[in-house]
A = this chain, B = another copy of it.
Amino acid sequence: MDQLLKDAEKIKSLEIQGATNVALSAIDFLSNYAKRLKSGDIESCIDKLHKARDILINTRPTEPAMKNGLKYIMKKLQLQQPECNLEDIPERIELYKNEYHEMISKSKRKIAEIGARRIPKADKTFIVMTHCHSSLVTAILFEAKKQGKNFRVINTETQPRLQGRKTAKKLLEANIEVIHVVDSAMRWAIKHFQVDLILIGADSITSEGTVLNKIGSRLLALVAHEENIPFYVASPLLKYNPETNLGTLEKIEIRDPKEIWENPPKGIQILNPAFETIRRRYIDGLITEAGIFASSHVPNYFAKLYPEMVE
């Protein structure tokens, strides 16, 4: 158990990053823990794994892909329980982890393909805007570029950790034109460049169709709303957090103030929220592996595609 707690700490401390990475690592930690369970009957072992699962789940308030992955593993294990013996468990976890990984990969490819269709083939340069870094958003843009579409990307730097620079670099490597602005210039840029489409990723989605994403995303959604710019969120359905259906509130992670001001004056209070929520009314469509739809429909598609992960 001690090792599991250490492993869990790695997730908690953000040593491991990126929704997919975190999900796969957590499953590995569960698998390793299973390996260390030397004796005992299968039932008590499953029981211990359940407790381990909950420890891992609680490391981060906002990582539904990890939570859904751990639930998927455990549900599959339980279905197998009668025919399963202790030694097989780590192997089985590995097997289910690969299945889960494949699910994520397939949905990413599908989303890139669907999302790229939203950028038209035209003479006039199409203007896309994004905020922060989302590997799904860049995947969509890479796909559109590969198809020879004519577009530019307006990109915000995303203080305090400047993930926008990562987005800029990735896009430039793919020969996509990038215009880079400070976060507070987002409205000015939308008007100045007459943005045609805004596209961001998601950290979590609730049963009401609310999206949780990097701080500044709700601000961008508000401007999109005022300026009547289509606002889309690209996300695998696995970012859906089924607990929200039962009333659980999403928690906003508050990060280290040092990220904002390293040597601040005495007495100041610095607050560094990592995310903010975007209500469904601001989101024109969610781009998922099940297609494009209003975000309030997420629970239905999730239940249809991933019945094993519904509670």
The residues of A with any CB-CB pair to B shorter than 8 Å are 113-118, 120, 156-160, 165, 168-169, 172, 177-189, 191-192, 194, 207-209, 215-216, 218-219, 222-223, 226-228, 244-249, 252, 260-261, 264-273, 276, 279-281, 284-285, 287, 291-294, 296-297, 299-300
Contacts and interface: CB of A to CB of B under 8 A. Distances in A.
B291 A245 contact: yes
Given A219-B219, A246-B114, A247-B292, A284 B208 contact: yes
A261 B188 contact: no
Contacts of A299: 291, 293
Contacts of A156: 184
A187 B228 contact: no
A269 B192 CA distance: 14
Contacts of A265: 168-169, 172
Contact of A245 (B187, B188, B260, B293): B293
A240 to B, nearest CB: 12
B184 A158 contact: yes
Q: Quick one: which of A156, A215, A226, A264 has the most chain B CB within 10 A?
A: A215
Contact of A226 (B158, B168, B228, B267): B228
B260 A157 contact: yes
A221 to B, nearest CB: 10
13 contacts: A113-B246, A117-B247, A118-B247, A159-B182, A165-B261, A172-B266, A181-B272, A182-B272, A185-B272, A185-B273, A187-B218, A192-B271, A247-B292
A182 B117 CA distance: 30
B183 A183 contact: yes
Contacts of A184: 156, 158-159, 183-184, 215-216, 219
A248 B116 CA distance: 9
A125 to B, nearest CB: 12
Contacts of A293: 207-208, 245, 296, 299
Nearest to A245: B291
A67 B95 CA distance: 42
Contact of A114 (B179, B181, B208, B247): B247
